[in-house]
Structure formats: C-alpha cells, structure tokens
Amino acid sequence: MIATFSRRACLRSGLAAAASFALPCALPLRASAQSAAQPFEQWVESFRPRAKARGVSDATYHRVMTGLKPDLGVFALQRSQPEFSEQLWQYLNRRVSEWRITYGKERAREFAPLLARIEKDTGVAPVTLLGLWGMETAFGDPVVQQNHFRPVIPSLAALAWGEPRRRAYWETELLNALVIIERGWSNPQEMRGSWAGAMGHTQWMPEVWLNIGYDYDGDGRASPFGKPDDALAGSARYLIQRGRYRRGEPWGCEVRLPAGASGGERKYAEWQKLGVARADKQPFTHPEAAAKLWVPVAGGPAFLIGQNFEAVKSYNPSMNYALAVCHLGERVLGAGAFVQAFPGSERAPTLAEVQEIQKRLTSLGFDTAGVDGRIGLETMKAVRDFQRKAAMAPADGYAGIKLLARLRQGL
C-alpha cells in the first residue's frame, strides 16, 4: 500500500496500527455507498469499457465482476477508525515488541540466504527489509493474515463505485488489480489484504504490484503472497526506484550530542569533529556519508539519519514509522534498545506480560479478542475501557507495565 493516502488509511485500519476488521453490513446498498450515481450492478457494466481500455478481456471482466457484491464495510471503516494518541516511546514499544523481535529472529534465520541474495542483487540491506516486513505484516504472521485480511476486489469495487472524495484513485487501483488478474499473476480468491487494497507480505497496493512487482523466484509471475521472495525483492526495488536507497549506507544511528549541537546535514566525519558520537560507542561506519540530526523528543534519544532513512519514508511519510522500521530491523539482527530513554517512558512489556494483561482484562469482562501477546486494536480498546472505568488518566489504550500493575489490583 505504498502511496501516501492509501498508506495512511491502511495504517490506521490495518496492521501497523494493529489490525483492521470487517464490520457487519446492515445498511441497504444505496444507503451505504457515500455517493453512488447508479446502482452497483449498472456501475459494473458502465465500468467495463474502462477495463477494456486497460487491456482487460471481456472474459476476465465477466469472471471477476459479474455478480460481485461490493464490500460495504469499507465505508464504515473509513468513517469510524478508532483513534489512539500514542507518545513516540509507546508507538515504538508496541511495534518493536518482544513477540515481534522473537518471531523476526526466526524468520531472519530461515530466510538469511534469500536476504543475502537480495542485498547482493539490489543493494538493499536485510535490516531494512526485515524492518518493513515486520512492521507491515509481522513477518507474514498467519494469524494476522487470517484475522485481519479481507477480499480486495469487493473492497476496491465498493470504493470505486461509491467513494466520492477519491473516486479516481480507487477506480485506478481497481483497474490495476484487474490487469494483474488478466496477466495471470493472481486471482480474486488469493487477493486478500487491507480494506484499502494493500496485499501480501509487505503490503503492496495494486499500482505498486503492477509497476514494481518482481518475479524474483522465477515462477513466471510477480506475487506478494506465498514465499516472501517476490515481496521482499519487490519492496527492495521500490526503495531504490522511489526512495533513492543507497547501497552500502546505513539508515543512521543513535548518537550522543555535545552541548549546543545543532541541526543541518553534514558528513558523519564532520559530525564527529563537532563532538557527536555514536551512542553505542562504536565508530561511524561510513564517515563520508551525509546525515541529518534529528531529536524527536527533547531529552530523549538523538539520531543521525541518512538517505536510507528517507527511503523508508517513501513507504510511509511518517518519521515515527521510519524509526520503528529501522529499529525493529536492528533489534531482529541482535542490536539492543536505544541507549537514551525517552522522558517518562516505560520499558516495553515482555510477551508474558502482554499475555497477562490480556488475560486479566478478559477476566474482568474487557474483550481483547484472545490472549496471544499481540497488541491489536481489540486489546487497545479493552485497555482504554478499563482505564476509563478505573479512572486512570490518561485513558490512552496503552498496554504497558504500569497498566499491568493496576490490573493486578483489580477493579
């Protein structure tokens, strides 16, 4: 889902924001669509020439679109995304979790040869690809896929038909999806993803799949599903083509600053002359590369960030997202937590502690949708409901160790 609008929408409703889910559709077809000029079945027929102009055969169009029922749940998801205000340390703790790091280490070992080959062929380092894979789908976690993905064609068709604000965008993405099917790269049954149409291990929107998809395993089709070969190699290609990723350079690093240090872009060697040093006391690995100073929270960790950090931002323009991706990738490969703590922060809860939080919330009548150690929207809503009932402030939905201590006291 690598486009600014779609990534923000999907991240609110999807995996990096902790999981989208289908809502029941009780409204009549016409009432659910936001601005449909004609009944859905008529719109399907009127859209046929657009697909034909893109090279979609009548046979493919008939097979995919005739009798299709639009996924009306997308309109409710657009209108009523639950919002949680997270401080940066909370955002990082929830995404760079013990569960995700542990599973990521398993996947990193399993696919080390693949990651090494992609780095040799493209220059994109495993640390970046592991961070993206972990952020987008928790390394292809089957539980995530089973519980939080939905058929993409009905979603895109509903949006293209009935979403007035960005109808041209949704129409184009539906056409891209139909072209993918026409090429034989996929089929409607396989094409499951977020409500906004992002699919596969690293959450490609149809436009990205179609234009940057990479048949890296040589089976005759580019696919973000199944083996992660195509998904990871395609995302590497994306980072290079649209993010201007630079082979061999680091994304950046945490640093310690001398008094009075200010921003700007300089070579690492120049930063060093000004008294800036890596927080882990290691030497700068690429002294001639350029980096900018970034202090996201006053009193918290400081970073030098380079072009490859900016490349990750091409996937999602959020600075916090890019930092989480880079930090998760490093943690999976054995690095430690940041040296400098964020002001007012807590350590991240362990997997066992998250499970205890979920178990205690469930026993008190707050539904977390399971005790799996994954902090998704259901767990966050349960936490917020408990916080409100227990008069805890702020009621921010954060499942941390202070919350666990309060839960152990009961209501």
In whole angstroms, what is the distance from residue 341 CA to residue 167 CA? 44
User: b/e map of 324-361 (b: 16 or more CB within 10 Å)?
Assistant: bbbbbbbbbbeeebbeeebeebbebbebebbbbbbebb
Q: Judge whether 399 lies within some domain.
A: yes
Is 323 inside any structural domain?
no
pLDDT at 85: 81
- Residue 3, pLDDT score: 41
Comparing 81-85, 106-110, 156-160, 228-232, the range with the smallest average pLDDT is 81-85
Q: Evaluate whether residue 150 is within a structural domain.
A: no
What pLDDT score does 23 carry? Answer: 27
Q: Is the pLDDT of residue 119 over 90?
A: yes
User: What's the pLDDT tens digit per position in 228-273?
Assistant: 999 999 999 999 999 999 999 999 999 999 988 888 899 999 999 9
pLDDT at 29 over 50: no
- 298 within domain boundaries: no
pLDDT of res. 329: 98
pLDDT recorded at residue 81: 60
pLDDT digits (tens, 9 = 90+) for 393-403: 999 999 999 99
Per-residue pLDDT reduced to its tens digit, 148-172:
789 999 999 999 999 888 999 999 9
How large is the C-alpha radius of gyration of the chain?
23
Q: pLDDT tens for residues 31-48?
A: 345 556 689 999 999 999
Least confident range from 192-196, 260-264, 360-364: namely: 260-264
CA distance 38 to 27: 17
Instruction: Look up the domain containing 403 and give its range.
Output: 351-407
Q: Does residue 395 lie in a domain region?
A: yes
Give the pLDDT of residue 343. 97
Name the nearest CA neighbour of 15 among 182, 199, 173, 216: 199
| Dihedral sign for Cα atoms in the order 367, 373, 376, 381 | positive
Mean pLDDT estimate for the chain: 90
Question: Is the pLDDT score of 351 beyond 90?
Answer: yes
The pLDDT, as a whole number, for residue 176 is 98
Angle CA 296–96–357, to nearest 5: 115
Q: How many domains in the chain?
A: 1
pLDDT over threshold 50, residue 89? yes
Is 387 contained in some domain?
A: yes
- For residues 114-134, average pLDDT: 98
Q: What is the model's pLDDT at position 35? A: 52
- Report the share of the chain in percent with pLDDT over 90: 81
Q: What is the pLDDT of residue 144?
A: 76
296 occurs within a structural domain: no
pLDDT at 371 over 50: yes
CATH code, domain with 374: 1.10.101
pLDDT at 32: 46
> How does pLDDT run across 280-303, given as a tens digit for each residue?
999 999 999 999 999 999 999 999
Asked, for residue 79, whether it belongs to a domain, the answer is no
User: Which pLDDT band, with edges at 50, 70 and 90, does 146 fall under?
Assistant: confident
